[in-house]
Chain A
């Protein structure tokens, strides 16, 4: 049975075995020690078995990773068995498609795995949004119960973040080695591990909805998260494993970028997306630890009674020597130290894609290359200094407000550099309005909405009024769509012919764009409007008297149009295009390294060594060359030339 030999199937089986083992281990230990099987006596339901559930979830992830086979090589190394590295399918002779469902070390396979998983998870998060938008379409609806509504918005938030992280992983893993002329990442095994750990992570997030859910919002603030249903523990652990993927993946990106570039590719001759991915990796490498730590602290507070965030002591222990002293504000500091820089993790690769695509379709050099490269680094670094702007009304020390307001507004400077560069690149260009270009331009328009609504939130006085309203929701969704969703779709359309060798249907691509972009403007401006008229976040319904029913209905309709438009893309890229015409090696006449080799790409992308001899974005300059190949082994691939 071929299907039983797929890594995914074996991983799920291993995960199930792990879950049962973990659960039994805790129950057995407690019985052996003469304790009641449940931890908190008098508590019934899933909460009674919370420690067992938590240990089971950890064993689930370990079991999955062992079962899927991502640790086999390392376990062999530990006892001295050498496992020579080879490209191609793990099990010799199995068909090509099985590689995508098993552990595979090729960065191109892993990139596709990231991307497809990301789109699937995007579908789950989007479906949740459609459901609770129905509840919000009219005032005082009773479509969804309030606690279910809370679980759904919390799940929507974190599942979408997982989807974005997967999409970012897809872009960086697929593109960075190709763009710098390397045949793979620096640590291919670690790369596979970093992808597969996302699967148990995402599964735990989804299981969390069915074991009581969690009513805290995606932020999981204590003290509410310390009292929430047991689902919150699976939410914590799911985020923990997805975060582990971020950390390990970023190690790979940084080392690959620094050590595996083609000869002649100095740092300032790298494609601009590589700069963006590099800056992103720096944030992911370091800041991610803090969300892991903050969630771990609530997790231990719940199952071990460690009162980090508990000002009043722990109720089910009565022989305390020291009691209380915890502080929930600490959680917010640790949480936002990651979760604010995280939004730059979400948008920097997307902004890099915009800068990458505009010169190709405007046939002009990228305006201010070095400034754009440095602006990514500047956003990443300033991003570490702004986290407390989420906490202006939290009750933190007042003297922190002004410095965090100023550092927050400082982010507008490097972001402005990017906007000027995009305008300067477009200025006087001969623009071809292909689907990837349309999505890049759409991204700029949407990101502008997100960017302009930002300063009122970063300013203390206005934030006092706007905090926790739908204005924040509107701002955030505009930055995420402009910074990630639109550029991600642009990247999908742009590199699709390179990955598959086929050209997507341009008419359907344009239909996708013209459905999604106006709908998003309506949705975003509608959210901002209802927020300024008093609509709160995370509230299951609202009164007729607010007089925002019409606007809410428009937001809901726009949301459904966006959902529909994404289905058009899925139809275009995954259903219809397998019958589409061949695209050729370089349909966009790009100067990038990856466009000089055949499509779809061979297993080893660069059979002959690419040598960088010029600037990456000198479109339209006669006689300029970016890359030459050392030995003429690729007769069918033309050398990169000028425009």
Chain B
């Protein structure tokens, strides 16, 4: 029975080539766009996590605070919730570090009469304490300490990127939803046209005593096949595009710090399954409408 239905589905595929090719192209395009979004989100999330791992807060001390108060200030900062470690960097150490980093511009420091850098504390945060709201709240707490001149977390811009990223995620969900519906609609219409072209055959089948499942299953197979083939085509195009782009992005942008990765086999499998579900659902809708009449 299953083999027979599968055979019928393949025959339908052959007999309605143009319709099926159009459907396959639409599904492939939808899957390509949805998968590209997923790929973008996965890699962007990786980049964000990579940046967040190096998150630290720099606390600059007011100039008149004597060195004897530094240990106490360090303890006050460390006692705050979310602070993992605190390292004191004296203004002399900071200047030495700056000079070593700017060896080629050593002349800039020659006429320096006074060290302009402040004493500072480098504060590392707990891994669980890296949401932007929490970091901002901690910075406000530290800024409230009397001896503190300024608090800086260099990746302040990361917060804005996170917001943009969240916005993208939302847009991505909406786009995926739209493409899902579009694909269902198109598959449903293709199957409807195939059903229409075979209406006499279906009528004859009913008259000779064919049960509804005997009529329906080949169309379900067809929908599932359209979904699976469309997804494989879409993912293959994405993979080829990834191969072309990935090496350039890695070499030019991340210099080995970060690896751009493709969808995992599990994710690719889920996308194919989702696409098959879309195909099946399109067939289901059409058949339900047609066989009701």
Q: Is this pair of chains taken from one and the same complex?
A: no
